[in-house]
Structures are given as structure tokens and as C-alpha cells.
């Protein structure tokens, strides 16, 4: 089987890439993963970070919810960090 958390990474990367204007600056990495959890780090251009986080963090919360749904497919817990 593939590396743990790749489904989550791919889902988050797709969503973030569709939201931002500067698609080349999007970097989504698995910062740590275990048999039970995966942590994803998202980096974008500084001008796009506001779009990804959204008003009052609504977009970020939605991304985290979808990431957890993807993680459930692999039997994992997920966390998504948005890094400046």
C-alpha cells in the first residue's frame, strides 16, 4: 500500500490549489504520520493565505473537515496546519 496519509494530502492539495490565485506557490506536505494519525502542512503565497483561511477561519475549518473525512477512509485522525 502507499504511504499513510497520501489520500488526505491529495485531497487537501486539490482543494487549496482550486482556491488560490497563484497555484505554483501551493505546497502541501505530510509533516508527520503514524499508524493512527497524519499531520498536513499547507503553504501558499502570502497573498493567498487569507483566501485559504477565510473569514473567521471558515474555509480553513471546512478544509480540516474534508481532510478528516478523507482520513477516515484510511482509518486515521488528521490535522491540517496553515504555515506562513
**83 pLDDT exceeds 70?**
yes
Q: Which CATH number is 6-83 given?
A: 3.30.300.20
Cα separation, 39 vs 76, in Å, equals 10
Annotated domain spans of the chain: 6-83
Q: In this structure, what C-alpha cell is assigned to residue 24?
A: 505554483
pLDDT tens sequence across 64-73: 999 999 999 9
**1 pLDDT exceeds 60?**
no
pLDDT tens sequence across 8-60: 999 999 999 999 999 999 999 999 888 899 999 999 999 999 999 999 999 99
- Cβ–Cβ < 8 Å for 76, 38: yes
Residues whose CB falls within 8 Å of the CB of residue 43, separated by 6 or more in sequence, listed in order: 25, 26, 27, 28, 29, 83, 84
Q: How many CA atoms lie within 13 Å of 60's alpha carbon, on the beta-carbon side?
A: 19
- Cβ–Cβ < 8 Å for 78, 5: yes
Amino acid at each position: 500500500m502507499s504511504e499513510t496519509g497520501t489520500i488526505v494530502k491529495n485531497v487537501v492539495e486539490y482543494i487549496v490549489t482550486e482556491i488560490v490565485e497563484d497555484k505554483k506557490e501551493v505546497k502541501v506536505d505530510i509533516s508527520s504520520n503514524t499508524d493512527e494519525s497524519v499531520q498536513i502542512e499547507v503553504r501558499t503565497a502570502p497573498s493567498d493565505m487569507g483566501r485559504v483561511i477565510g473569514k473567521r477561519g471558515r474555509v480553513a475549518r471546512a478544509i480540516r473537515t474534508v481532510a478528516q473525512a478523507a482520513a477516515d477512509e484510511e482509518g486515521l485522525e488528521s490535522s491540517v496546519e496553515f504555515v506562513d
